[in-house]
Structure 1
Amino acid sequence: MTETHTTVPPGAPVFPPGRYGRRREPGRRRPVLVGVLVAALAGVLVLAATQLYARYGDPNYDAQMITYAEVTDTGVRVDFRVTVPAGGSAVCLLRARSHDGAEVGRVEVPVAAAPGERHLNVRHRIATTARPFIGEVLRCRPAG
């Protein structure tokens, strides 16, 4: 007699012995290992977030691009505004790019505010290796 859906009792399927390999019992869970892995992952993510915030996210050091002008074959002038803590100093990274997007000039510019001053208007010329299309401020960070 062959088995049909009416002759097999409901529940777990019945497989012919030796035909599909050894059936495994469901493995036991390892909550300690999972907990350690989750804690390690959380630690790595917190460390990465801290490093990225320190590098890019300090709101006390901010730069706003005003304009770029005087584009020549050897450089471009960049005007920008920097916000620093009162009387503080920063280092701003400026970049010039060509029309195809290649970087043709890069310079770090130190800026310092007078005591009680927080906002600085800065004008700087970026020397380039080819004719630039645009000048820009990438970021400002604390000096030191």
Structure 2
Amino acid sequence: MDSAILADPTVNERTRGPQVSETRATAPVFPPGRYGRRREGGRRRTLPIIVAAVVFGIAALGVAWAYYQKFGQTDYHPEIIGWNEPTDAEMVIKFSVRVPAGETASCVLRARDYQGYELGTRTVTVPARAGGGEVVVSETVPTTARGSVGDVMSCRPVG
């Protein structure tokens, strides 16, 4: 037997205890017919999983493409050019918007103060130039106090 490692090297009468031998575990043996048929470790069915993943991926791409066509690309591209020195009652916002030929755009303008609070909004209608293209517009937005920032929130087709 091994002597135990003790803090005091003069006491070597102690041992670690009886030695335990290691035994190998075997698979359990079940009585036949008692627990039903046992499955064998056979081949996994990966083909249905792969087919389902491919079908799901194609469907997701189709939905993404449909939403992109409906909401993604718009012909109405607004850009803020600037605004005048605002008063306590109004702010003049100058912006440009690309409007397709024969169409009309409906743009939402907004005036805000230094803290970002909305002071007023206005929806304006912008007709297209002959042949379409970019239109520069200056519009007045009524406000409840002196504003500091003018925004073009969105431009869409009228209707």
| Pair in the same fold by TM > 0.5 | yes
RMSD between superposed Cα atoms in Å: 3.6
Greater C-alpha Rg: 2
Cα deviation, residue 90, structure 1: 0.6
Question: What's the TM-score once normalised by structure 1's chain length?
Answer: 0.65
| Cα 1:57/1:103, change in 2 over 3 Å | farther
More off after superposition, 110-119 vs 123-132 = 110-119
| Aligned equivalent of 2:153 | 138
Q: Which moved more, 1:72-81 or 1:109-118?
A: 109-118
Partner of 1:90: 105
Cα separation, 1, equivalents of 2:144 and 2:62: 40
SS in 1 for 2:60: helix
Q: Cα deviations across residues 10-29 of structure 1 (Å, max 9, x unaligned)?
A: xx9x9xxxxxxxxxx9xx88
TM-fit CA distance, 1:109: 0.9
Q: Identify the structure with the greater strand proportion.
A: 1
Residues 61 and 142 of structure 1 are in contact (CA less than 8 Å); yes or no, is this contact kept in structure 2? yes
Of residues 38, 42, 52, the one that matches 2:60 is 42
**Large movers: runs of 4+ above 6 Å:** none
Asked if the contact 2:107–2:124 (Cα under 8 Å) also holds between the matched residues in 1, the reply is yes
Work out the CA distance in 1 between the residues paired with 2:72 and 2:154: 7
Q: Which residue of 2 aligns with 1:119?
A: 134
Distance apart, 1:70 and its partner CA? 2.9
SS at match of 1:72: coil
Counting matched residue pairs gives 124
SS at match of 2:115: coil
Name the CA distance, whole Å, in 1 between partners of 2:146 and 2:21.
Answer: 82
d(CA) in 2 for partners of 1:109, 1:54: 23
How much does 1:85 deviate? Answer: 0.8
Q: 1:77 aligned to 74, 92, 111, which one?
A: 92
Q: 1:56 to 1:94 in 2, by over 3 A?
A: farther
| Identical-residue share of aligned pairs (%) | 35
Aligned residue number for residue 144 of structure 2: 129
In structure 1, what is the equivalent of residue 125 of structure 2?
A: 110
> Greater RCO between the two (CA within 8 Å, min separation 6)?
1
Contact 2:106-2:155 within 8 A present in 1 as well: yes
